[in-house]
């Protein structure tokens, strides 16, 4: 599938011919090649970590083409592979967690983007919202959770201090819920 908006056949938008070798070199270095058009991602790339929150793109070696095929792809968003696979190629712990028997449902379904912004976020951990608000989107308010959650010392703690948001990479014997504290 040719999913490319700027006409892909116009190779010279991105490539220049290099002397008589005809090697295709890039017009500009990455990520500038991409961020000159995708300006909203410019400030977050190449070492410019935000004062608050997190920027994936500021991390060394996390370049646009690690995740996106610059030419075409039959995956959504010009991704090189499915979302979870795209992420797991660098995140070994995620790879292990995906193989675990007990997983959090949205994680098991590979829906990373329900919780993480791929490029940059005002929250730490590249989360799409502050953690409690994020969990509440699907689990409702504290009133809707088991009683213990309303104890002040629990209500004040981050949800992920007790629950692993992904899975138990090493599930407890007896098949207890993956998500519960071990």
| Residues 112-141 within binding reach of ligand HEC (CB under 6 A) | 112-116, 118-119, 124-127, 131-132, 134-135, 137-139
Q: Which helix (H) or strand (E) holds 94?
A: helix 92-99
The answer to the question of residue 67 lying near ligand HEC (CB under 6 A) is yes
> Which residue from 43, 58, 70, 95 is in contact with ligand HEC, where contact means CB under 6 A?
70
The answer to the question of residue 169 lying near ligand HEC (CB under 6 A) is no
Burial 5-15 (b: 16+ CB within 10 A, else e): eeeeeeeeebe
Cβ nearer to ligand HEC, comparing 157 with 172? 157
Q: How far is 135 from 149, CA to CA, in rounded Å? A: 13
User: Which tokens in the block code for residue 176?
Assistant: 């207890």
> Which residue from 43, 58, 62, 100 is in contact with ligand HEC, where contact means CB under 6 A?
62
Cβ nearer to ligand HEC, comparing 19 with 146? 146
The answer to the question of residue 152 lying near ligand HEC (CB under 6 A) is no
The answer to the question of residue 76 lying near ligand HEC (CB under 6 A) is yes
Compute the Cα dihedral for 132, 135, 136, 142 and give only its sign: negative
Supply φ then ψ for residue 118, to 5 degrees.
-70, -25
């Amino acid at each position: 599938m040719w999913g490319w908006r700027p006409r892909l056949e116009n190779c010279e938008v991105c490539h220049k011919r290099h002397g008589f070798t005809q090697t295709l070199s890039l017009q500009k270095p990455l990520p500038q090649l991409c961020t000159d058009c995708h300006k909203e991602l410019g400030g977050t790339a190449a070492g410019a970590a935000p004062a608050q929150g997190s920027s994936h793109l500021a991390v060394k070696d996390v370049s646009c083409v690690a995740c996106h095929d610059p030419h075409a792809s039959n995956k959504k968003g010009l991704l090189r592979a499915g979302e979870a696979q795209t992420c797991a190629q660098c995140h070994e712990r995620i790879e292990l967690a995906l193989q675990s028997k007990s997983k959090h449902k949205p994680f098991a379904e590979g829906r990373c983007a329900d919780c993480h912004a791929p490029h940059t976020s005002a929250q730490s951990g590249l989360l799409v919202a502050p953690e409690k608000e994020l969990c509440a989107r699907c689990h409702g308010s504290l009133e809707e959770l088991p009683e213990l959650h309303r104890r002040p010392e629990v209500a004040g703690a981050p949800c992920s201090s007790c629950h692993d948001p992904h899975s138990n990479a090493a599930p407890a014997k007896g098949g207890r819920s993956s998500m519960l504290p071990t």
